[in-house]
Structure 1
């Protein structure tokens, strides 16, 4: 059974920078220059770690993440609140909170993002990487019109004139399905509904046709109809533009419907990663299995929903061994001594007592 078939049979369907930055980045030899070969590649992340604090007070909130998203592919990034999903996105964008620092490799096409100058990184965020933030109302500038906010990255990083950028903004609003786009260009964010504001955010993220789109909970607080419309819109635009997409969500039913690969985070570490079909049909990590068991199912409406006892640890209190061990029903003393080694190939996991193992 495929992931989508599993989804349909068991899971309820749910439906600014300154101009000087641009000039500086264009003259910077480190500034990413997109070639035809790079347009066919995606994102490769190796050993990404995010640290806060200094000296003996330093602690990791993300540790040793490695994954790849190719052009036209969607990676579903899932896990409980506090698992590190949004922090991973912030690290990829170079938007870590004050005091945070990252290490490891983040390669977009042939460009190593972590080695870019500040100006070149700002240009990469505007041109190479787009992001849809969780809450469009707080992410959009209330004092600027929609036209100004969509046109700004296109004008700054693609060198367009103001009239051309405004025309491009109108085309993008039409493309993302905003009715009467010409009239609504001069409206402010508060004049749009939640679903329409999300479409404006998508238009901004796609203004420069990025190679990578990070969608951080893009359907938060939307009704099921708008959820389906937004995700199908992203899916359509992904095919048209050949983007790699990282889809961050709590909703595994949406991952089953739209993602080709899944990565499960727990307490800042990868616990399982692989093709979506393998993940949904045969999860190997007990945490992954617990997440899947917590999804409401249509097969037996009288069955009590499962939950996971306990809470994820705070970053300052991450255990030495498996971080899920204190909540895991399969925990043994050896789980507490060292983090488990990777097992498996394309579908891999980190557990010494995996689901389905022959004892």
Structure 2
């Protein structure tokens, strides 16, 4: 057999087998060598799980620096982690996207139970601009009332309206519940609303957002086995994790530099795998002092989240409800975040 067909057969075999990365390396080498094989071989999609060739319409697209990836269904499979942010008071994030020359992958916004119109309008705008909306609601009734079904009409109205948004939407109800009430009621509320929302809106990923620290190191009442919803499908576990170097609490300035990967990302990855749920950073931040001390930490911790399989890396860029200088008003911090946005994967919805 001539050399060209042999190489083509080898690359196709690798792409459709368990080691597609070797095939991509070979394609690059062929391209660098001037071989015409690279273009033709690169059109072959890797196998989907189960060993059959992937449908080109839903094939995963590589998500290296600045690349795009196809999003089908509720949770992207090839976009890990999407770079996103909450900005201002649900402010349009042009200050972050303009310098980067591209859109955020995820946009976090926060709403009350009476702001459904604004939330849906913002979600439509986000999807139109290529962002995945990740929206949090405080509920119109108590957790106990929602768990008893008294809020079903509200939740169904929201779900039906979000189902008409042209793209995936991630929704959460009462994020960070620790310390806000009876967590048995909160858990029961999540167990009632999750199947109701998911049935009514096939494009909506149901997320549950916690602090993360409390589940791993806090009071026993906050551990996963006490509060995680039981017997229902949750699409995404979100965690609000902050680098607290430079935070002053109770008159004490924190000089401890955390190991985010060993303290949080890897333990959360193991837990998420055990539950069959995707996980991501719903909020994170670092202080101005932390950024001055280790300016490359942002890029490092992003890579650690990626290695741990996180699907989102969402910055809390606002001075509101903040205990420290999390926001990106300091020019050096904004430049570092802009670099991440510019090189992060970009979702493309089909």
Q: TM-score, normalised by structure 1?
A: 0.32
Q: TM-score, normalised by structure 2?
A: 0.33
